[in-house]
Chains A and B, each alone.
Chain A
Amino acid sequence: MVAKKTPLYDEHVKLGGKIVDYAGWFLPVQYEGLIPEHEAVRNAAGIFDVSHMGEVMVKGKDALAFLQYLLTNDISKLVEDQVMYTIMCYPDGGAVDDLLVYKFGEEEYLLVINAANTDKDIKWMIDNKKDFNIIIENISDQVGLMAVQGPNAEKILQKLTDFDLSTIGNYHFKRNVNFAGKECLISRTGYTGEDGFEVCTKAEDTVEVWNKILEAGEEFGLKPAGLGARDTLRFEASMPLYGNEISEEITPLEAGLKFFVKLDKAEDFIGKEALTKQWNEGLKRKVVGFELLGRGIPRDGYEVQKDGKKIGHVTTGYMSPTLKKSIGNALIDTEYAQLGNEIDVMIRNKPVKAKIIDRRFLKNR
């Protein structure tokens, strides 16, 4: 299958983006370079094309009841114009996907899902629609999505609208904002650990809005940033990536996402029984953070050992651009998971010592 292009494809090429096929989409892995783009987001601002993400509307009388059944978090706690992170699980507790839910109204919700999972997720939703009185609508191709992230994000975006963006709280949003002359949805959300916004446009407005943001951001050090920096930023901020920290094989509890799994939710939800059992019996393995003590860079998939015995694998690892240290996440047997414990990461068939540390890598920055 030929990869798809987002509405911003031509802009990426013009900006010198190094285009790769990611999750079936042609997207820039970097423009100027991963490190300067990463640093721009931590110290000034960066703009990402995230139009590849899937967007699904769930509407109807039973919308809330359906989402309560489908998702692990308690969607009934959402108020209008608020966003919630949640996981969608299989009956065995493995994750179908992780996603954001936007509440438009009592009977209307927007789900933002991972690009690579879009078809799978929609099929899963339809398969579990049962007698719920709802409509599931895939609007992914009708919208563009851009993330503007970093300490200068608000200053930059405020130049393009009369709406007071400071009134949008963290994980809240505003619809129908007149922004850069277009009607946009603006949320204070992101995937970098910095303050920032995501701007959702009509597909046909995306190029114009993107270019206006780039222009407005010039005086504030805004840089276009690619998938490379997106991953190092989310990793440093201890945010999970589907397929790495969480997957069909790794439950949200093992991934350390218990906060987003409401086992005490009144309603039944898919995976509740298996996840409750897993929690009550105690986790056999979990995702931990580690810092490499020896030389090298941990990469996802590398084996983790203790005394020559396999105890797990690296889920994500980098030479952290912010901390200038080799750090990673690993899914390992719980008995070795306590902070300060030493493990070996197998790098090119050689064991390299590492120490378990708090996954909130930027906590003491």
Chain B
Amino acid sequence: MKVLKDLYYTKDHEWLKVEGDEAYIGLTDFAQDSLGDIVYVELPEVDDEFSKEDAFAAVESVKAASDVFMPVDGKIVEVNEALLDEPGLINEDPYENWIAKIEIADKSQLDELLSADEYEKLLDEEV
């Protein structure tokens, strides 16, 4: 499974790419592979605020629905609307096709997230 360096990860298989005070959130390669073909994505509204570990979006395969959780506290500043018409983009390239862009409320929370190395270790344990 592909794991990119320089991203933060959660144990729920989200990734976080930080740019200044903002960050993109998406699903990892492992997550999209476990889900199978994604046929539906539910996105939050811009300006919605969420706490760390809140479900802020949902992705669904034919078989099952799965929540996407906030890696840190934050406010939605942009959503990837392309996913509404083409949810399968996440399967094609999970790191390119982010779900939402957030404004991070408290950057010190980033320290609690997993590094690429730590996330790879977690995957080894799950497999």
CB within 8 Å of B: which residues of A?
29-30, 33-35, 38, 228, 232, 295-297, 299, 318-319, 321, 326, 348
Residues of B within 8 A of A38 (CB): 62
CB-contact partner of A34 in B37, B55, B60, B65, under 8 A: B37
Number of A-B contacts (CB under 8 A): 35
Would A299 and B65 count as touching, CB distance under 8 A?
yes
Would A319 and B63 count as touching, CB distance under 8 A?
no
Residues of A within 8 A of B58 (CB): 348
- Per the bound structure, the CA–CA distance linking A75 and B50 in Å amounts to 60
Residues of B within 8 A of A295 (CB): 40, 42
Write 29 A-B pairs (CB below 8 A) sorted by A numbering.
Answer: A29-B63, A33-B36, A33-B37, A34-B36, A34-B37, A34-B61, A34-B62, A34-B63, A35-B37, A35-B62, A38-B62, A228-B62, A228-B63, A295-B40, A295-B42, A296-B40, A296-B42, A297-B39, A297-B40, A299-B64, A299-B65, A319-B39, A319-B40, A319-B62, A321-B62, A326-B40, A348-B42, A348-B55, A348-B58
Least distance between B123 CB and chain A CB atoms (Å):
17
Q: What 0/1 pattern do residues 24 to 67 of B give for CB contact below 8 A with A?
A: 00000000000011011010000000000001001011111100
- Per the bound structure, the CA–CA distance linking A247 and B125 in Å amounts to 39
Would A297 and B36 count as touching, CB distance under 8 A?
no
Residues of A within 8 A of B60 (CB): 297, 319
- Per the bound structure, the CA–CA distance linking A319 and B60 in Å amounts to 9
Q: Top 5 nearest A-B pairs by Cβ distance?
A: A319-B39, A34-B62, A297-B60, A228-B63, A297-B40
- Per the bound structure, the CA–CA distance linking A348 and B60 in Å amounts to 12
